[in-house]
Amino acid sequence: MKKDFLAISDYSPADLQEMLDLAVRLKKEHFNGGNPPLFKGKVLAMIFQKPSLRTRISFDMAMRHMGGDALYISPDEIGLGKRESIADVARVLSGYVNVIMARVFSHEHVLELAKWASIPVINGLSDYNHPCQGMADALTIYEKFGNLKGLNVTFVGDGNNVAVSLMHICSKLGANFTIASPEGYDMPEKAITDAKTFASASGSQLHFLRDPHEAVKHSHVIYTDTWTSMGQEAETEKRKVVFPPYQVNAQLVSEADKDVIVMHCLPAHRGQELTDEVADGPHSVIFPEAHNRLHAQKAVLYKLLEA
């Protein structure tokens, strides 16, 4: 197991599957009387440049469930890379706590934290990827279908950080991944190149389309995300013009497999990328998916603190 959890792409299919199986076990254990206090005496420092409901609470509760503790560090408290250098922050925290989770704007920031920290660093989100969300997504799909191999997973919308991690875990574990995105909102070339390498090993098929209706044919999973992510607020009005054809609504869902599940990492802008009818409908798993952040991250923490 690697020291840090920075990207899905860093891990082998066997490592990823092992963490998914561990997440399933820890989740069952939690609901059957609680997890043993394996993290007793362990502390997680949580650095936030961006606010988050799910990331903060799920990591905090993951530590508590396992007998550990978590410290929330707000954006203004350390001014990561501004008031104090990232290298200094990493080395100071390494003497105080056992593991660091950072939710940042720039992917370079989390890479630099990991470079200088002598303890594990977890990427809680960056502008490039969102591996913690990717693990929760894979866990949700795994619970529903019993496997990822051969499933058709379709992402509809912006080729963003969430899409990158979803594509990478699909291509690692053998699910076919399709994305339908408007021109100018494609996934990063590096992410695609890496996914093609993973897909060639796993047998996964990758498709990059413009038409969402074509993309969802035979899909077992439809995934969407907000049209405008944090840090892109200046583009909001432009994106509101570009993305309406990519809304996940009842019509689009009806064109997929009859047992399709609809996923969203939240927060959702209802009426934009996702309708209420779909978000609250029979195909939606967005709340079990959100709850799985807790259990997937518990598995990641377990593996890092065990090493």
Start-to-end CA distance of the chain, whole Å, equals 7
pLDDT in the model for residue 63: 98
Percent of the chain with pLDDT over 90: 91
Structural contact between residues 243 and 273, judged by C-beta atoms closer than 8 angstroms: yes
Question: What sign has the CA pseudo-torsion 152, 153, 156, 157?
Answer: negative
pLDDT in tens, 10-47: 999 999 999 999 999 999 999 999 999 999 999 999 99
Determine the pLDDT at residue 1: 62
Hey, CA dihedral for 282, 28, 164, 240, is it positive or negative? positive
Instruction: Tell me, yes or no, if the two domains 8-130+293-306 and 131-289 fold the same way.
Output: yes
How confident is the model at residue 15, as a pLDDT?
A: 97
What DSSP character marks residue 127? S
Given a contact cutoff of 8 angstroms between Cβ atoms, the answer to whether 123 and 110 are in contact is: yes
Instruction: Select the CATH number that applies to the domain covering 131-289 from these four: 3.40.50.970, 2.60.120.200, 3.30.230.10, 3.40.50.1370.
Output: 3.40.50.1370
pLDDT one-digit tens code per residue, 38-90: 999 999 999 999 889 999 999 999 999 999 999 999 988 887 877 889 999 99
User: Poorest-confidence range of 49-53, 217-221, 271-275?
Assistant: 49-53
How high does pLDDT run on average in the chain? Answer: 96
| CA dist., res. 191 & res. 106, Å (int) | 16
Q: What is the pTM of this model?
A: 0.97
Pure H helices in 34-182: 53-65, 75-78, 86-94, 107-116, 131-145, 161-173
Class (C level, CATH) for 8-130+293-306: alpha beta
Domain boundaries, the chain: 8-130+293-306, 131-289
pLDDT in the model for residue 79:
77
Active site residues: 103, 130, 133, 225, 265, 293
Per-residue pLDDT reduced to its tens digit, 136-179: 999 999 999 999 999 999 999 999 999 999 999 999 999 999 99
Q: With 80 as the cut, is the pLDDT of residue 230 above it? A: no
pLDDT at 233: 78
Strand partners, 178: 154, 207
b/e map 114-141, b = 16+ CB within 10 Å: bebbebbbbbbbbbbbbbbbbbbbbbbb
For residues 165 and 155, the answer to whether their CB atoms sit within 8 Å is: no
